[in-house]
């Protein structure tokens, strides 16, 4: 399956399994989503379970919270992560706090799916990676898969989870893995082992990272598209990097990270999002705090620049294998 098909399969499985799962968002119903992630679901489950909404992100998340309070399990879509901000009040002040402020009287078991990330000439408002603004909010879970297998398993886990989940989908990975070599043709998921996805129900646990590529020379902390870029950088530099795909950004799998850095003594953090106060800062801080006496080099960060995501300058902005590889070299040689 492609990541699109895997995500659709996850929703299909969960709608079949649990009558309380409902799917909605802009263009999600009849049309099946602008990325085809919900294609056929309305026909299969009916308009009261899968439906189109007005263009109102605050409204989409707001009604989901009300539905969650009633007892449903909404899985909703915000068309692009770049457009999630009108819903920020509902996400931060309401969904994230409802369980705490009501002492468990009400909860918000909702999943907010939203395509994120660049590398597609999306310009300023079709490329952003806003994970840090959610990882900062107590009460939220922030999740990002990097391949179809994880996408389905993590989405099922997210829908089943009783906490609100921000489920970020790197749209650059929807049809195939992407390692940053934009001049080469995209290889479809059908030619990658991680594109092999079971038809039925399975889960990938939240709060659990995956060692994407085992290695000895340095630890790389990445997620989403950057996992593939880091793998290319390791291949091209010949550096034996241990690439950890975080999968769950927050709460995260600290144990796997610390174990790896203690083993390698070196760490590079890579994300597409802008640098300052990005999620990388938290990762650097955690590694420094927990692995200080094992570190043999400063922790490096390769990220997007502190600029809005540009259009024409896409590949100068996007942290590609050359920039990532250079950081690997500096860290190993330090």
Residues 288-327 that bind another protein (CB under 8 A): none
Is residue 99 at the binding interface for another protein, with CB under 8 A as the rule?
yes
Compute the least distance from the CB of residue 71 to another protein, in Å. Answer: 7
By CB under 8 A, what part of segment 123-182 binds another protein? Answer: 138-139, 141, 161-163
Q: Which stretch binds another protein (CB under 8 A): 33-41, 86-94, 113-121, 150-158?
A: 86-94
SS3 83: helix
Residue 61 Cβ vs another protein, minimum distance, rounded to whole Å = 9
* 93 binds another protein per the rule CB under 8 A: yes
Total residues at interface with another protein (CB under 8 A): 44
- Concatenate the DSSP letters of all residues of 166-187 into one string: EEEEEGGGSSS---S-TTSPPP
Runs of H (alpha helix) within the chain: 3-17, 41-45, 57-70, 88-89, 98-101, 131-135, 148-160, 225-237, 254-264, 279-291, 314-317, 321-333
Looking at beta carbons only, is 105 or 183 nearer to another protein?
105
**Subset of 12-31 contacting another protein (CB under 8 A):** 22
Kindly tell me which residue out of 86, 265, 308, 310 binds another protein, with binding defined by CB under 8 A.
86
Q: Nearer Cβ to another protein, position 212 or 250?
A: 250
The CA radius of gyration of the chain, in Å to the nearest whole number, is: 19
Q: Is 182 a residue of the active site?
A: no
Tell me which of 18, 44, 56, 307 binds another protein, using CB under 8 A. 56
Residue 49, interface with another protein (CB under 8 A)? yes
Tell me the closest approach of the beta carbon of residue 105 to another protein, in angstroms: 5
Q: Which is nearer to another protein, 55 or 316 (CB)?
A: 55
Strand arrangement of the beta sheet that strand 248-250 belongs to = 50-52, 21-25, 73-77, 111-116, 165-170, 141-143, 248-250
Among 2, 38, 42, 53, binds another protein (CB under 8 A): 53
Active-site position among 126, 182, 271, 294: 126
DSSP 255-298: HHHHHHHHHHS-EEEEEEEESTTSHHHHHHHHHHHHHGGG--SP
SS3 327: helix
Q: Say which DSSP state 52 is in.
A: E
- Whether 322 and 237 have beta carbons less than 8 Å apart is answered as no
CB of 74 within 8 A of CB of 67? yes
Q: Tell me whether residue 106 or residue 315 sits nearer to another protein (CB atom).
A: 106
* Cα 155 to Cα 8: distance, rounded to the nearest angstrom: 10
Report the first-to-last Cα separation within the chain, whole angstroms. 42
A 10 A CB-CB count for 91 gives 29
Instruction: Give min distance, CB of 186 to another protein, in A.
Output: 37
Residue span 226-265 as binding mask against another protein, x where in contact by CB under 8 A, dash where not: -------------------------x--x-----------
Catalytic residues: 126
Residues in the site for another protein, rule: CB under 8 A?
22, 48-49, 53-54, 56, 58-59, 62-72, 86, 89-90, 93-94, 97-107, 138-139, 141, 161-163, 207, 251, 254
């Amino acid at each position: 399956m492609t990541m699109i098909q895997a995500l659709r399969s996850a929703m299909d499985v969960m709608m079949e399994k649990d009558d309380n799962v409902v799917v909605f968002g802009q263009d999600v119903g009849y049309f099946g989503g602008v990325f085809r992630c919900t294609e056929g679901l309305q026909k299969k489950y009916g308009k009261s379970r899968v439906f189109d909404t007005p263009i109102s992100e605050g409204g989409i998340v707001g009604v989901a919270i009300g539905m969650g309070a009633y007892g449903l399990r909404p899985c909703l879509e915000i068309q692009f992560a770049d457009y999630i901000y009108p819903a920020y009040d509902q996400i931060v002040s309401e969904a994230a706090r409802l369980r705490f402020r009501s002492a468990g009287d009400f909860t918000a078991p909702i999943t907010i799916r939203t395509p994120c990330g660049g590398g597609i000439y999306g310009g300023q408002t079709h490329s952003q990676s806003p994970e840090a603004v959610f990882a900062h909010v107590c009460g939220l879970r922030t999740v990002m898969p990097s391949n179809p297998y994880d996408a389905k398993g993590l989405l099922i886990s997210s829908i089943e989870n009783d906490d609100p989940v921000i489920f970020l989908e790197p749209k650059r990975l929807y049809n195939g893995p992407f390692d940053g070599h934009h001049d080469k043709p995209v290889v479809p998921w059908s030619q990658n082992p991680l594109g092999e996805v079971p038809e039925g129900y399975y889960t990938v646990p939240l709060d659990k990272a995956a060692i994407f590529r085992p290695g000895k020379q340095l630890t790389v902390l990445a997620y989403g598209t950057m996992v593939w870029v880091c793998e290319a950088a390791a291949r091209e530099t010949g550096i034996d990097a241990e690439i950890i795909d975080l999968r769950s950004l927050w709460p995260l799998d600290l144990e796997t990270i610390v174990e790896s850095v203690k083993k390698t003594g070196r760490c590079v953090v890579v994300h597409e999002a802008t640098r300052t106060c990005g999620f990388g800062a938290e990762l650097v801080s955690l590694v420094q705090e927990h692995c200080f006496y094992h570190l043999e080099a400063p922790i490096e960060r390769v990220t997007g620049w502190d600029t809005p995501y540009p259009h024409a300058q896409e590949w100068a902005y996007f942290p590609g294998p050359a920039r990532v590889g250079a950081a690997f070299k500096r860290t190993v040689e330090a």
